[in-house]
Amino acid sequence: MKKLPTFKRLPLSGLCLALFTSLSAPVFASSTSNQDVAKYADQVEEDVIKWRRHFHQNPELSNREFNTAKTIAKYLKDLGLEVQTGVAKTGVVAILDSGKPGPVVALRADMDALPVVETSGLPFASTVRSEYNGADVGVMHACGHDTHMAMLMGAAQILVNMKDQLKGKVKFIFQPAEEGAPEGEVGGAEVMVKEGVLSNPEVDVIFGIHISSKVEVGTVRYREGGIMAAVDPFKIVVKGKQAHGAYPWHSVDPIVTSAQIIMGLQTIVSRNVELIDSAAVVTVGKIEGGNRSNIIPNEVEMVGTIRSLNPVTREMIHQAVHNKATSIAQSMNATAEVTLPLDYSYPITYNEPSLMREMLPSLQASAGKENVVPTNAVTGAEDFSFFQEKVPGLYLFVGGRSKDMTSEQAPSHHTPNFVIDESGMKTGVKLLSDLTIDYMNKH
């Protein structure tokens, strides 16, 4: 049984996580060069894969990452770091102090899994079941957060053993509930920020990565400015006057009014957003009203989502949704009540352009210049954006698709057959380490 630096391989059952045994990091020769970081990443790769498989086989849902947090906290303490637990309920934060003046660099990984029944066929596939919003569900790391934790643990091991070469402090942030807290709860990056995760010591810059099943291993995708969209759910309640379906002239029909509102909302993007500069989405995903074919109801409720990639567009869309809904309703003698945002709201995941340009050589040193590729923005959202609202930060995509698979063949994130080529994680470990060291040297 290998004891150092891996954890003891014990039988796994349910959500019982096998804690790591003696986890002191291997001794590396100190060096700040990108070449040596690559060498250290080679040495820790086997452990990163084992850690990832452990988390994958033992997933936990948002705000329920109790055993995951215990495992991470024990590992970080064994590295000799100052560790805080229970941040934003289950989050773990650790500080590496070089003892020398310099910036505070934060590195973040998300921890939670999804209510998905796994069908990947992997030998370490999850068979875990849990409760989600009152329902019995399967649980799976169907978005790659298991790889994010493992990559950050690998980077922590490298940076601890290069402590003499660091200037400043590193704050390792393991964040719960990125996928959203259960109904009636709060969680995630927003709560971590409110609880002061970017203070004591104050963070100067933050870096985060996301593995991608559609991007080839060894590749890093980046973008200046907005890389992932703001998300703003909304609700519109249209109130009219109930009547018999055979006599619609006695009604103020909220269903017809709602239909016109939905069509009107679609003109916001097509006619008001400067699409050559910024993409956006306005989607109505649910509509409810009435209970019989021959009754025009009193009211209709619809809910939807707004996605935007710059603050000006975001503000304009918010105002336009309100104006169109209320004006169309008024034209039909109905009323419309708009709730925006509805229950949660994520800012734009925004890579500060000057920081992106400054750190681009670090990306190229980690992955090779030919493997660092600009990417288009995506309209998916990430609560990493709450950190970037407070301090400059970069969010990057790391390839996780096998080279013998096309992008079309690769399973999408949040699906039961989601898979990642584990060789891609070494790029992420190098990237987190190089960004930290290079930023410290530049500042």
Cβ atoms of residues 236 and 325 within 8 Å: yes
Count of C-beta atoms within a 10 Å radius of residue 52: 25
d(CA 220, CA 218): 7
Catalytic pick among 75, 395, 422, 439: 422
Q: Does an H or E element contain 172, and which?
A: strand 169-175
The backbone region for 43, taken as left when phi is positive above 0, alpha when psi lies in -120 to 50, beta otherwise, is alpha
Cβ atoms of residues 59 and 173 within 8 Å: no
Catalytic pick among 40, 75, 346, 350: 346
DSSP tag of 273: S
Active site residue 422: yes
Active site residue 395: no
- Look at residue 3 and give its three-state secondary structure: coil
> 224 exposed, middle or buried (CB, 10 Å; 0-12, 13-18, 19+)?
middle
Task: Report cis status (omega within 30 of 0) of the bond before 5.
Answer: yes
Cβ atoms of residues 375 and 221 within 8 Å: yes
Q: Which residues, 6+ apart, have CB-to-CB distance to 337 below 8 Å?
A: 236, 237, 239
Q: Does an H or E element contain 34, and which?
A: helix 34-57
Catalytic residues: 346, 422
